[in-house]
Amino acid sequence: MLSITLKDGSVRKVEEGTTILQLATTISAGLARVAIAGKVDDEVKDLTYPLEKDAQIEILTMDSEEGLEVMRHSAAHLLALAVQNLYPGTSFGIGPSITNGFYYDFDTEHAFTPEDLEKIENEMRRIAKENLCFERAELTRDEALDYFNNKNEKYKVELINDLPGEARISTYTLGGKFIDLCAGPHIPSTKLLKAFKLQSVAGAYWRGSEKNKMLQRIYGLAFAKASDLENYLYKLEEAKRRDHRKLGQELDLFSLHDEGPGFPFFHPKGMILRNALEDFWRKEHQKRGYVEIKTPIILNRALWEQSGHWDHYQENMYYTKIDDQDFSVKPMNCPGGMIMYKTKLRSYRDLPIRCGELGLVHRHELSGALHGLLRVRNFTQDDAHIFMLPSQIKEEIIGVIELVDYFYKIFGFKYKVELSTRPENSMGSDKDWQTATDALKDALDTKGIEYKINPGDGAFYGPKIDFHLQDCLDRTWQCGTIQLDFQMPEKFDLTYIGEDGEKHRPVMIHRVVYGSIERFIALLTEHYAGAFPTWLAPVQVRILPISDKHAEYAQKVEEILKEQDIRVEIDDRREKINYKIREVQTEKIPFALVVGDKEAEQGTVAVRRYGQQNTNTMSLNEFEELINNEIKSKKTGLEDN
């Protein structure tokens, strides 16, 4: 008898050779009905897999990410069978699962069109209803080569030839009609494939190499339930509506031009938004004991060699010559911060020193990677470098965590946390890296923050905590980071005089909150769908006089609001008032104030808030109080969209 440990820790005794499905049946008939695969000692297997030794087993359903991955991989095989049926003579590449779906690569003379995708999807649905089984078989290398050579499947043959010589090679047959080279696992049958949709077709080089032939890649979506698919499709459409590139142009915030690819141009309204974010940043950092510095954009090669960037980051840097010497445009602000630290002798009493810098950096991104403000070649990092005593590490990390949490709550973002550990291309000793990693873990644990370990994704000089924002469409974006660094102080010979009168080495934190101003503006634009909270809106109030005779009162209202630093403008065009109101809504201005005879006589304003149909009449003093409270409280306005 085998001892099988289940996910809840309970142990069951089963006969050797019992399949995962049979095990699920002994647990409950309901579980067996929804089971699609099993995890045996952390390795996912088909339900038909026979148990041969004691193991830890988890029964997977489509409620789990691993279960969804199995289902999506099976959907890729269903796609391949549909293409085989409709387009005989097609050669097959690979068909893995991906986030939210799957794809398959095809080599065919037929160029797939959107109409073809609809036809293929209909064929997939027809096949799925046939309840075809996925059947696994193992072949020797020679058997597999014979089969796929006979089928003229050159891509499969190439993959087989790359496998180890003695390996048994697994294939999966779908309903006896389509055989694929595949490690699996798969769902039991196609009846479980219900909520899927083909999405697009794109070119893809075989095995990702431009030296190989371009294949046609069909992408599809697949979910456990139709409602999940519908929700995802809704979010895709909503993401298009919220695209910051589209809204940035419509709201006149910024533009991108061929004369400077990856170098954004900010317009006057975009600068108001930037300045509001920067002013908030400065105010909150001053409260927490930060000082602000500014370091040069161009520094010489010797500095970048000393920092390690020349060896570890050179391909992302821009270069120039000055007086026949090599210089580089800074990709990061930290080396300049080191020079500032060394301008005078530091005492242990001076530490910690928290130096903030809104520093413009330049990085050489490939043209194909550029994407609006999300991926640019120059951007402003809201950097800060904290120089501290070893005894201050935990307290300072916690302080940054609390600052990041405060900022993200102000903007209405939820977030997830990852701890990224030592990468292969790194500097420093194992001891320093372990000390730094343990310190970050200790701070997170003390704050009670859940986090995921991201192995090997730290900076080349230290481990880091990354904050991944979750927007209103449940997309995640990496923004804030805290990097603990023992290496840079060593490389730049940073010291302080300790209580013992001797020189000691400080420890350093690199950290950002926004990440980059440009990227954060892109995220805010999409998060709010361009309807920025009142405190951030480039124009907070537009006054709409009903006719020319109300212009004088409109100007009086404008002057009063401007005295309170409210961003206000008047639309005095000879247009109908309903047309003016529609434009205010289109431009997503938080407040429209309609003024006519009644308002001028009584000293009131008719207030129309963005996204609402009703108009409320109130005194000018009442409106001043309303808008000032909204600006002061930094209300997000998300509940009004």
Which of 77, 156, 285, 363 is catalytic? The answer is: 363
The reply to whether 468 belongs to the active site is no
Q: Which of 362, 510, 527, 567 is catalytic?
A: 510
334 labelled catalytic: yes
Active-site position among 182, 334, 355, 479: 334
What whole-number percentage of the chain has pLDDT above 90?
86
Catalytic (active site) residue 381: yes
pLDDT at 311: 84
Assess whether 464 carries a catalytic annotation.
Answer: yes
**Mean pLDDT confidence for 216-239:** 95
Q: Which of 274, 464, 511, 580 is catalytic?
A: 464
Active-site pick, 385, 527, 550, 609: 385
Burial class (CB in 10 A: 0-12, 13-18, 19+), 268: exposed
**How many CA atoms are closer than 13 Å to the CA of 578, on its beta-carbon side?**
1
- CATH of the structural domain 273-295+346-527, one choice from 3.30.930.10, 3.20.20.80, 3.40.50.300, 2.40.50.100: 3.30.930.10
Residues 575-612 have pLDDT tens digits of 999 999 999 999 999 999 999 999 999 999 999 999 89
Q: Are 280 and 293 in contact (CB under 8 A)?
A: no
More confident residue, 612 or 103: 103
Task: Locate all alpha helices (DSSP H) within 50-177, ordered by sequence.
Answer: 65-86, 114-128, 141-150, 154-161
Q: Quick check: 641 pLDDT over 60?
A: no
Q: What is the CATH number of domain 66-238?
A: 3.30.980.10
Catalytic residue among 199, 216, 381, 392: 381
What angle, 0 to 180 degrees and rounded to 10, lies between the N-to-C axes of helices 154-161 and 141-150? 160
pLDDT value of residue 637 = 60
Q: Which residue has the tokens 């293409």?
A: 83
Task: Categorize the per-residue pLDDT at 639 as very low, low, confident or very high, splitting at 50, 70 and 90.
Answer: very low
What's the whole-number mean pLDDT along residues 351-369?
94
Question: Over 90: is that where the pLDDT of 48 sits?
Answer: yes
Task: Indicate the domain borders of the chain.
Answer: 2-61, 66-238, 273-295+346-527, 541-640
Annotated active-site residue in 105, 116, 383, 466? 383
Q: Does domain 2-61 have CATH number 3.30.70.2860?
A: no
What was the pLDDT predicted at 531?
95
Q: What is the pLDDT of residue 432?
A: 87
DSSP 460: T
Three-state helix/strand/coil letters over 237-258: HHHHHHCHHHHHHHCCCEECCC
20-24 LR contacts (CB < 8 Å, sep 24+): 20/45, 20/46, 20/47, 20/48, 20/49, 20/51, 20/57, 20/59, 21/47, 21/48, 21/188, 23/51, 23/57, 23/59, 24/59
The model's confidence at residue 268, banded by pLDDT at 50, 70 and 90, is very high
pLDDT, mean over the chain: 93
pLDDT at 460: 81
* CATH 3.40.50.2300 is the classification of domain 541-640: no
